[in-house]
Structure 1
């Protein structure tokens, strides 16, 4: 590593293997890492803990769910809030050279709109919040693919990077738009992400519509257009999927599972499960265990 302006410059050759233009890891941040910049782009996700991210002269508080886009040459370092072993600061790092964005643009022509701002380096460093946990799931999958390297993993990694870039690009568009001009599709995206993570809580269409500054009728129309389902159908589908997973993998009672996925009325849960899945919860559990 060469030293520049009291920070280390990390060269790509320390991370990228021949034929693999991407590097993904999961690291525990300490006080041992020196402030540094690098010759590649980095997208970082705070998976656990809290601390401070010192970047380009700013001190940014971080916690679980904070995501950063860090362009080439930007000096930075993470510091944990505490050195207690039971409260580590864990981050996922996704690194790739600038030319990888050109390769993605050429491989995914329809993604050129997403890649161009990052290729042309019009985007400075920025952070965003992942309140719904959507990006946490993407980074976990990316790390699994990179670590295990099953057949086709480079294609899966490319698709995941494009998906993350889409979120970053949309976030930048949102920041550049006045609240009154906020794209309506963004409100539905946020609603879907929230439902996917908080399906067991009380979910009311009116609350989502009010947050989006839309009438319930407008919100319902947009929700159906973007998901192909009504608000109620979508919520029920997510809850049934969760119930199926728990029936197959746990020894909890049906009543306990019904409660955990958002239904206090056990009779209604049984009726809905039979209607959506085609069998009763008990029958589904028996079938799942007989095929495992």
Structure 2
């Protein structure tokens, strides 16, 4: 049975300022943003921390220096390894209107060849590791967009083109990777649908992925950067965060609903993951909600 994921929609009109086809920010990733697809192109740089980047259902372990190209229609979301302030997952995002992309061909030499892999229905997501050339470009993008000095729009365009050229070179030398579905992903989908179950086991997940337990454990670690058990705890704590924020249920009730019967273990794991106790997390979330209502 295919497990359906809940995927939201983001629209460029929410980000772009009048007369601007580029938006740049620096964001701290949390558990609050839902997996989403969008009607714009996105370039992303992992600046600090580590976690998992879900792209079209595939889980990719990420850390400082990972660069991503995400075309229109690809679903994705970042999830941090922890919410502790000293280990936050921080990313630079450069959002590009499709009209910006449509205006680039012919704007510089070799543009048709370089942009072919980033445009049209055949475009797929790409990942590359920075060796020192991408970070200065993303940092300058952010400074120019935030400061908006004279001529900043022209410089933003130049910087974006340089990033595309860098990704094109990596892909041309097999240094960038695209996504592909593997047996582990069906197990991940199964975990996302059944993480509450106390019967979710290594044996069951290996069966779902049609691998031996040893093969499954090895491939899961390679694909996600964590063990299946660490990933399961990740899903459960993420769900607990949502319930603490959105419901008035007791902490013990929430712990039980996401798969934990040992309250001491749940409290210890929750604080280790988020840096807060469940009660502190709920109070902080309530405080943020009150600020938004003012």
The residue number in structure 2 matching 1:139 is: 138
* Number of equivalences: 173
- C-alpha RMSD of the superposition: 1.9
The residue number in structure 2 matching 1:74 is: 74
Q: Deviations over 1:72-98 (max 9, x none)?
A: 111111011011111110000011122
The residue number in structure 1 matching 2:122 is: 122
* Shift in alpha-carbon separation, 1:149–1:176, aligned structure 2, 3 A: closer
4+ long deviations beyond 3 Å? none
Instruction: Pick the structure with greater CA Rg.
Output: 1
CA contact (8 A) 1:43 1:93 kept: yes
* Shift in alpha-carbon separation, 1:172–1:123, aligned structure 2, 3 A: farther
State the alpha-carbon separation in 1 of the partners of residues 93 and 115 from structure 2: 19
State the alpha-carbon separation in 1 of the partners of residues 36 and 90 from structure 2: 18
State the alpha-carbon separation in 2 of the partners of residues 13 and 43 from structure 1: 17
* Shift in alpha-carbon separation, 1:109–1:28, aligned structure 2, 3 A: same
Residues 120-269 of structure 1 correspond to what in structure 2 (within 5 A)? 120-130=120-130, 132-175=131-174
The residue number in structure 1 matching 2:56 is: 56
Tell me which of the two structures has the higher relative contact order, counting C-alpha pairs closer than 8 angstroms and 6 or more residues apart.
Answer: 2
State the alpha-carbon separation in 1 of the partners of residues 70 and 118 from structure 2: 10
* Gap regions ≥5 residues in structure 1: 178-292
* Shift in alpha-carbon separation, 1:122–1:173, aligned structure 2, 3 A: farther
Q: Deviations over 1:139-185 (max 9, x none)?
A: 000000000000000110000011000011112211299xxxxxxxx
CA contact (8 A) 2:128 2:175 kept: no
State the alpha-carbon separation in 1 of the partners of residues 172 and 75 from structure 2: 25
State the alpha-carbon separation in 2 of the partners of residues 141 and 37 from structure 1: 26
State the alpha-carbon separation in 2 of the partners of residues 152 and 95 from structure 1: 19
* Gap regions ≥5 residues in structure 2: 177-294
CA contact (8 A) 1:71 1:121 kept: no
Report the secondary structure of 2:103's partner residue: helix
State the alpha-carbon separation in 2 of the partners of residues 8 and 40 from structure 1: 14
CA contact (8 A) 1:142 1:160 kept: yes
* Shift in alpha-carbon separation, 1:110–1:75, aligned structure 2, 3 A: same
1:23 pairs with 2:51: no
How far has the Cα of 1:6 moved from its partner? 1.9
State the TM-score, normalizing by the size of structure 2.
0.56
